[in-house]
Amino acid sequence: MSDEQRNTVLRFAVIFIIIALGFVAVLGKIVYIQTVERAEWMKVAEKQVPTHRPIRATRGNILDCNGQLLASSMPQYYMYMDTRVEALHLEKGKLFNLHIDTLAADLARVVGGKTQAEYKSRITQAYKKGEKRLRVCDKRINYLQRQALEKNPLIAKGKYKSGIFFEDQHRRIKPFGVLASRTIGSIYGEDGVGNSGLEKRFDKELRGVDGMSSIERIGGRNESVTIEEAKDGLDIVTTIDANLQDIVENALMAKLAEKKAQWGCCILMEAQTGYIRAIANLDRAKEDNSYYEAQNHAVQRVEPGSTFKTIALVAALDDGKIRINDTVSISKTPWVYMRKSRHVDAHPMDTVLTVKSALAVSSNIALAKLITRSYEGSANKFVKRIARMGLMDSVYCEIPGADKARIEVPNDTVTLSKMSYGYSVELSPMQILMFYNAIANEGRMVRPMLVTSIEQNGEVVKEFKPETVKSSICSKRTLEDIRGALHDVVWDNHLGTASVNPWKGRKAQSDLVSIAGKTGTAQLLRGGRYVKRHRITFVGYFPEENPKYTCICMMEDPEPPYYDAGMDCGSTVRTIAEKTMAYTGCYVYQEGVRVLDKR
């Protein structure tokens, strides 16, 4: 080995030894810190706090049309105590011992849940153990309770002497309880993203934008310094009127409890604007048979039954296939069509009906004959005519997950015959209501609306105007004809299914307000087969001479043997109509009194 090579090896050896010694020194320091200095550094670590913390934005409110709160984020608080605070331990705990009794007494009085002795024992034990984060109260307290507690002599000294501090826990509340609860919707967690209803549809606007704060050491204490202010969520102003909502919900609840139906849905809509003034969805609980809001049946499609007959007749009348005074024969025996389909009537009779009276008596046989006679071999024209009315448009209201109508061209004429009276088609109650509202609104179909504006601190940020789906669903002549038929459904005491016939009852007839509309009864499909259980409906508008509102009531599977669409759903709409018109100031309404002095 040459001298030059020997020198090179020597240099590398020296470098290696230096690196090795440095490595050993680092390992030694690590071991020293983990053993000898561990306790000291752990104390330092406990004093460290995150340098940045989010400032949570307050979620916006959901309001009714009169500015009343339907949903709001209200501050609630968890109350904690750091029993290690130095001031509590000075002079052998003089401050703590002086105030523990009054603190325990105020907690028992303001918060409750425990006695004064139990609160004192809990806090004293934590004090002796030196607990850093004692949750003083098991449950959250509201703002008024916090204000009351902050008057306590110990808490009033501040968190650096008392050790007591409060942490915000915003909670979403609904001041009106279950009123329109499913439509208003819910959120994930205490202040998460919208889960359903309007809370989901307008989650971005309601949620706001969180801010940011920095925790800095000032004067020997950790203080929060705001870097960026939170931007609170916007407010959503709905079309719902809390007073009308109460009327609708109570009327539906009473009838559901009487008939023991599985669920019910009721919607009240302003005729000219499409504003939904009330919407109730109630399901029967298996445990105690009470009713609560579980699903939004208003936007879930079902087979509509006889309420579809009006749609079918409008199509045929407007296409010139039939005229309102054309006649059709019906009989007590079933009408067998193409050897495959049997059509029967709920109120069988041997007679000849006009088209107008066929709708009033709601004859399945008559409608099947009229529609198959009109569109046999051209069922696609029937479906296209219905589509031109706007019923199959995809956007109907702001409720997420609203079903689209299912009205498909049938593969055979037998299916067409069943479609004529509301089978093999599916519509949601909202879509049925929208169609009948067009009849009430001089033929103009408007989109059902649940939100009128988005606001910030009372200032309108975005406004939503009534939207026309179709300027006219049919000709004026067809509109007059169909209105006359819907009048007879309620006021023809010989044939009308919502009149006093066949049972002597009020049904949809009222001495206070004139109502026109249509009943509907559909057999339920269970396991691929129709069973002898039903879905009953009444949809109508009032006052008939100058329609202001349209209303639908639908009930699923009322308990047999006695139920009737006109008697049960029709009477519910009548009650809603009378109270709604009283609410608008047309007359004074008193429960149980039918004839009242008009104002």
CATH code of the domain covering residue 181:
3.90.1310.10
pLDDT at 371 over 90: yes
The residue among 515 and 225 whose pLDDT is bigger is 515
- Picking from 169, 198, 215, the residue at the C-terminal end of a domain is 169
Percent of the chain with pLDDT over 90: 52
Same domain membership, residue 164 and residue 181: no
How high is the pLDDT of residue 46?
Answer: 55
How high is the pLDDT of residue 593?
Answer: 54
Of 189-203, 279-293, 573-587, the poorest mean pLDDT is in 189-203
In a domain, 28, yes or no: no
pLDDT confidence tier of residue 41, bands split at 50, 70 and 90: low
**What is the side-by-side order of every strand in the sheet holding 52-55?**
52-55, 211-218, 221-228
How high is the pLDDT of residue 223?
Answer: 60
Per-residue pLDDT tens digits for 117-171: 999 999 999 988 888 888 988 888 887 888 899 999 999 988 888 889 888 776 7
In a domain, 225, yes or no: yes
Of 141-155, 291-305, 583-597, the poorest mean pLDDT is in 583-597
In a domain, 1, yes or no: no
Question: What Cα–Cα distance (Å) separates residue 126 from each residue in 12, 77, 426?
Answer: 62, 20, 64
The predicted model gives 231-258 an average pLDDT of: 94
CA-based torsion, 420, 421, 425, 430: positive or negative = positive
- Picking from 169, 199, 217, the residue at the C-terminal end of a domain is 169
In a domain, 9, yes or no: no
How high is the pLDDT of residue 246?
Answer: 94
- The 8-class DSSP code of residue 511 comes to S
Q: How far apart are CA 117 and CA 105, in angstroms?
A: 8
The residue among 200 and 226 whose pLDDT is bigger is 200
pLDDT confidence tier of residue 345, bands split at 50, 70 and 90: confident
Same domain membership, residue 175 and residue 164: no
Same domain membership, residue 407 and residue 530: yes
Question: What Cα–Cα distance (Å) separates residue 588 from each residue in 119, 326, 508?
Answer: 55, 43, 19
Same domain membership, residue 303 and residue 164: no
Q: How far apart are CA 458 and CA 461, in angstroms?
A: 9
The CATH number of residue 526's host domain is 3.40.710.10
How high is the pLDDT of residue 143?
Answer: 79
In a domain, 125, yes or no: yes
Rg (CA), the chain: 36
In a domain, 248, yes or no: yes
What does pLDDT average to over the chain? 87
Q: How far apart are CA 283 and CA 493, in angstroms?
A: 33
- Picking from 141, 169, 197, the residue at the C-terminal end of a domain is 169
- The 8-class DSSP code of residue 427 comes to B
pLDDT at 442 over 60: yes
SS3 label, residue 285: coil
Q: How far apart are CA 590 and CA 576, in angstroms?
A: 13
Q: How far apart are CA 182 and CA 265, in angstroms?
A: 11
The residue among 370 and 216 whose pLDDT is bigger is 370
pLDDT at 440 over 70: yes
Per-residue pLDDT tens digits for 398-422: 888 888 899 999 988 889 999 999 9
The residue among 33 and 328 whose pLDDT is bigger is 328
Same domain membership, residue 540 and residue 441: yes
Same domain membership, residue 466 and residue 429: yes
How high is the pLDDT of residue 594?
Answer: 46
What are 536's two structure tokens?
A: 């009953």
Same domain membership, residue 136 and residue 183: no
The predicted model gives 354-373 an average pLDDT of: 95
CB 371 within 8 A of CB 317: no
Of 50-59, 95-104, 287-296, 441-450, the poorest mean pLDDT is in 50-59
pLDDT at 316 over 80: yes
Per-residue pLDDT tens digits for 449-494: 999 999 998 899 999 999 999 999 999 999 999 999 999 999 999 9
Same domain membership, residue 100 and residue 62: no
How high is the pLDDT of residue 324?
Answer: 96
Q: How far apart are CA 162 and CA 152, in angstroms?
A: 11
SS3 label, residue 109: helix
Q: Within 13 Å of residue 232, how many CA atoms lie on the same side as its CB?
A: 14
Same domain membership, residue 214 and residue 342: no
The predicted model gives 176-205 an average pLDDT of: 79
What are 309's two structure tokens?
A: 């007959």
Same domain membership, residue 359 and residue 268: yes
Q: Of the candidates 285, 266, 280, which has an alpha carbon nearest to the alpha carbon of residue 537?
A: 266
In a domain, 442, yes or no: yes
Q: How far apart are CA 141 and CA 152, in angstroms?
A: 15
The predicted model gives 84-97 an average pLDDT of: 88
Same domain membership, residue 219 and residue 130: no
Contacts 24+ apart (CB under 8 A), 375-380: 375/316, 375/321, 375/416, 376/413, 376/416, 377/413, 379/409, 379/410, 379/413, 379/415, 379/416, 380/409
Percent of the chain with pLDDT over 70: 90
How high is the pLDDT of residue 229?
Answer: 80
The predicted model gives 1-10 an average pLDDT of: 68
Q: How far apart are CA 243 and CA 481, in angstroms?
A: 35
pLDDT at 534 over 80: yes
| Total tally of structural domains belonging to the chain | 3
How high is the pLDDT of residue 441?
Answer: 96
How high is the pLDDT of residue 598?
Answer: 47
How high is the pLDDT of residue 44?
Answer: 60
Q: How far apart are CA 277 and CA 248, in angstroms?
A: 10
In a domain, 23, yes or no: no
Q: Of the candidates 290, 425, 325, 312, which has an alpha carbon nearest to the alpha carbon of residue 362?
A: 312
Instruction: Give every CB contact of residue 82 below 8 A, 6+ residues apart in sequence.
Output: 131, 132, 133, 134, 159, 163, 165
Same domain membership, residue 175 and residue 57: yes
Whole domain around residue 442: which residue ranges? 242-583
